[in-house]
A = this chain, B = another copy of it.
Amino acid sequence: MRADIQGYIIDLDGTVYRGKHLIKGADAAIAHMKSQGKKVVFLSNRGNISREMCHAKLLAMGLDIAAEDILLTSTVTGMYLSQEHSGRPVWVLGEQGLKDELRTHGIPIAGKPEDAAWLVITLHETLTYAELNDAFRAVRHGAGIIATNGDRMFPGDDGDSIDVAGMIGAITYATGVEPEVVIGKPSRRMAEAALAVLGLPAGQCMVIGDSLTSDIALGKQSGMATALVLTGSATREDAAASEWQPDVVVASLLDIIHL
């Protein structure tokens, strides 16, 4: 491993696991990093599950990880709201996991859409028209829009599936209101949250992930080393054609320990 790198910022979907399955060698790679005294934080654009749910999933996969070392966009949205808009009620267009995470951060959920100061949008795989309409009414009554992330698609069990961008587009087209904040990678906000957990300067950190536009872009924009893994959405050809050039391209997370 590179001696100048003291901290690793590691993506989850497509880097550590795919769907319900651990990616081969990811557990060994993480264990090795820790045994060498490196610090590790997990940084994911997932906004529809709580940190607690994600932690339980990683433990069940046999990974030895502390909950505090996991930063999902649901977590960082909760941090943002409690820091910047404390006490203001929100309405959620998204799954229960986000609501749970926001409650953990003390964010009040509005009793009805019309009372919300913010509409928080995340992926919602059981979305219904009635829920879309509630979200529409929140914004019509003055709520601003915060999105956990702006991803267009994710690799679902049966193929590429529509992601948060679809939910944002529905509300934005119908109301004319654009999101005020998009929390997820490659935002500066996510980079800063990860560096705060690591307690390291950007120059001593490496971002490892499968997405050029979220992981590699975040690392490049923040002055970190970057590694693209080929276990997720991007191919070597995608990397060659991208405006975001990773420092290294590796087959999987396990190869990082051989650099």
Chain A interfacial positions (CB closer than 8 Å to B): 124-129, 132-133, 136-137, 140, 152-153, 156, 159-163, 165-176
Q: Hey, which chain B residues are within 8 Å of A127, CB to CB?
A: 127-129, 132
Q: Is the CB–CB distance between A166 and B162 below 8 Å?
A: no
Q: Hey, which chain B residues are within 8 Å of A172, CB to CB?
A: 169, 173
Q: Hey, which chain B residues are within 8 Å of A175, CB to CB?
A: 152
Q: Hey, which chain B residues are within 8 Å of A159, CB to CB?
A: 137
- Complex Cα distance A153/B136, Å? 9
Q: Is the CB–CB distance between A165 and B174 below 8 Å?
A: yes
Known contacts A127-B128, A137-B160, A163-B174; can you find 19 more A-B pairs with CB under 8 A?
A125-B129, A126-B128, A127-B127, A128-B129, A132-B166, A133-B156, A133-B161, A136-B153, A136-B166, A152-B174, A152-B176, A153-B174, A162-B171, A165-B173, A166-B171, A169-B170, A169-B171, A169-B173, A172-B173
Output the least CB separation between A133 and chain B (Å).
5
Q: Is the CB–CB distance between A169 and B174 below 8 Å?
A: yes
Output the least CB separation between A149 and chain B (Å).
13
